[in-house]
Each structure stands twice: as C-alpha cells, then as structure tokens.
Amino acid sequence: MTPPRQLSAAQLSAADALSDYYANGGDPPTAAFADLGFEDGLAIQCEMQRRALANGASHTGWKVGLTSDRARTAVGIDDRPFGHVNRVLSSPAALPSADINKVSIEPEMCFVIGELIAGDDVDPASVPARISGVCAGYEVNEARIGVEGSLAMLVADSLTNWAIVRGSGVATPPAEDLDRCVVTVSCDGEERFSCIAADEVDNPYLSIARLAATLHRYGLALEPDQCVITGSYARFRAEPGQHWTTTYSGIGSVEAVIS
C-alpha cells in the first residue's frame, strides 16, 4: 500500500482538481498543474493511488516510464517515473472500448517480481535472481485527460495506464537474451511492426533497478507477485473488432481483442 505522504498546498490542490475531473468531467485541470513539475507529479500520483485504494482498488504492479534515450531526451530528464498499475488481465484479454477512452495498446515485456527489490542502489545484475519470470505483455492505455505540455499531469495520471495484459512466458532469461528478443506485432493476422528489443528500449533489468531507485524516494518498493512492464516498443490506437497478437522470440505471445 502506498504510504501517506505530506503534500504541499499546490500538490494537494492539484490532486483535488484531478479527482474532481475524474468524477465529474468538464475541462482538464490544466491550471492546477501549470507551475508543477516532474517530482510534483510523482507525489500527486501517490496521493491519487492512496485515494484509489481507499475506494477499493487493488495495487497489482508498476510501469516504468522514460525507458529509452529518445524519450528522456524529449523531456530533458534522466529519470524513470513510475506508474501504479491496478489491473492485470490474462491473455487473451477482451478490452471493452466503451469503457476505455481512446484505447491504445503498447507491446511491453512483463516481469513478475519474486523477491523484494528495494533501495536507491540496486545492481541491475542482481535483478534476474529476484524475478520469478518474464512474459509477453501489453500495456493498455487510456486517454483520460489531455496531458500534452504538462509532464506533471501526465505523471500524476499514472502515465495513462489502464491495465497490463499478461501473456505466456518463461523463467528469467539472461539480460543479453532480452536485448536480442524480436518483438513482432500483428493485427487481424497482418504484421504491423517488428523490432529487436534493444533497438527501442533500455535493458529491462536496468529499467527495473532504476525504477526501484525512484520508488525508494517515495518509501515504495517492488514487492513479490507484482507485475512490472519495462517500456514500450511501439504504440497503436486500437479499434473495436480488432484482434492484436504479439510474439516475443524465446519468451511467448500475448493477445487482446477490442470489443
């Protein structure tokens, strides 16, 4: 459970405005986030998660943001923001487009935590021994708010996460095997994208270690049985009726049907 954290008046005001927007709609709370930055967004996200848990949500995992040089250069930050994940679905997953605003999916590797990973100096080489397995995965994203131009709001919104889809997997492979993994995305039987993992994102064990360091600043850690996704290889807007399948060489496959 996310521990209580004392927010500044500006952070609390932004959290209240975001909660009101989620509940009642209207215009996105852009003004409340106008003078806030990256760390503010993380603090507000923790407060939003505290409220979600109080309302019955279940914390099931994490996502890692800024897992490529390209992404970090774009925002000018050498850090790995976290996103709380409260929903993990099994493949093949049925994704109800009526319940997810502008649903999009991203192929990402999914790691299952076997032992506690905590602290600001985790050695990436120590991570595989604390992972119980790696699976083919999707991140499902929802456009809940217009976050363009506001990094703080994007981070506070759990980096747009709606769910993880967890596919088939294997025991934890060596880091170099993950880097060589070929990711191939198909929609309705037609190939849409293919890449070698290391060409698009950082090595996942490095990303998990960096994630642990960011979580440590907020009194948080990666706990057993949580799922962690470690960076997107591509992003696709998904439409009703589509059937998406992605294979990860040497790992497994994952499927999602948009209803």
For the chain, percent helix, then strand, then coil, each to nearest 5?
30, 30, 40
pLDDT for 219 equals 95
**93 burial class (0-12, 13-18, 19+ CB within 10 angstroms)?**
buried
pLDDT for 13 equals 97
pLDDT for 126 equals 97
Residue stretches of the chain with pLDDT short of 70: 1-5, 146-149
CA–CA dist 250, 143 (Å, integer)? 32
pLDDT for 74 equals 86
pLDDT for 2 equals 43
pLDDT for 150 equals 86
Yes or no: say if 181 and 193 are a contact pair by the CB < 8 Å rule: no
Domains present along the chain, CATH in parentheses = 59-258 (3.90.850.10)
CA–CA dist 120, 11 (Å, integer)? 24
- Tell me the pTM: 0.94
pLDDT for 6 equals 85
